[in-house]
Amino acid sequence: MGWHGELLVGFDLETTGTDPAEARIVTAAVVETKAGEPVGRRSWLADPGVPIPAEAAAIHGITGERAAAEGRPAYEVVAEIGRTLAAHWAAGTPVVVYNAAFDLSLLAAELRRYGLPPLLPEGLGPVVDPLTIDRAVDRYRKGRRTLGAVCAEYGVVLDAAHEAGADALAAVRVARAIAERHPGIAEADLADLHRSQVRWYGEWAAGYQAWLRRQGQEGAVVDGKWPLR
């Protein structure tokens, strides 16, 4: 069957912005799945303690007023997310994160911000990033690689896009669909797959950086570290 038929945990964040070093967590979800179906879920709404820009609220639907009124203190939310993921990794359960270098780097920054136990590369994993894997196994496919676009490519229904739980579940289902289409991915040992994604992401980042520079952005730098920038 391969790893994609076992317990998989989807993880997703919705945030105040697009810079993982500066943005704050607004909502988060951890969805436990078996055979692509949810068997457990934890979700969080945080008061990030900073304004939520209108453009971010327009994407995920959480305004600053709602976060302040209904959200829990960010310190508590960040601590619980960190403990939850650490427990899954300690049990050997793969965590599926679409564009892991963003979500996990942002979580790591939040943990540092509040003086909480850090995410450390040696204790982090296995991580399955459907975006990184899809780029590697189908690198010449044209078009966007957003979660919605890749769901369409693999026939995965994405309900309520930009709701953390829906996105986390969709990421798991995309990971399973990629494995079913590409036997080499399905048969890979998870530790080997994790290491392969480190290499694939670095290769993609180098190529993208070179492309940006050819387009005239001479100082463009694309960080090639994965899953933590």
Domain count, the chain: 1
Q: Is 222 part of any domain?
A: no
Both tokens assigned to 115: 């003086």
145 vs 183: CA distance, rounded Å: 21
CB 205 within 8 A of CB 221: no
Residue 190 lies in a domain: yes
Question: Is 227 contained in some domain?
Answer: no
Does 223 reside within a domain?
A: no
Q: What is the DSSP string of 115-177?
A: TPPPP-GGG---EE-HHHHHHHHTTT--S--SHHHHHHHHT----STT-HHHHHHHHHHHHHH
- The CA–CA distances, whole Å, from 7 to 35, 52, 85, 95, 164 equal 7, 34, 14, 9, 19
Amino acid 161: pLDDT: 78
150 within some domain: yes
The DSSP output letter for 91 is T
What does the pLDDT look like over 118-140, one tens digit per residue? 987 777 889 999 999 999 999 99
3-state secondary structure of 5: helix
Cα 20 from Cα 110, distance rounded (Å): 9
The DSSP bridge partners found for residue 28 are 13, 44
Within a domain: residue 228? no
Which tokens in the block code for residue 164? Answer: 């953390």
Kindly give the residue spans of alpha helices, DSSP state H, lying in the chain: 54-60, 64-70, 74-90, 100-113, 130-137, 147-154, 164-181, 183-186, 190-214
pLDDT at 160: 81
Q: Domain of 88?
A: 3-214
What pLDDT does 120 receive?
77
| Residue showing tokens 């050997």 | 92
Helix (H) or strand (E) holding 33: strand 25-34
Chain segment 6-32, per-residue pLDDT in tens:
999 999 999 999 999 999 999 999 999
Neighbouring CB atoms inside 10 A of 144's CB total 10
22: CATH: 3.30.420.10
- 4 DSSP assignment: G
Q: Is residue 229, in this structure, part of any structural domain at all?
A: no
**Is position 92 within any domain?**
yes
Point out the residues of the chain with pLDDT beneath 50.
none
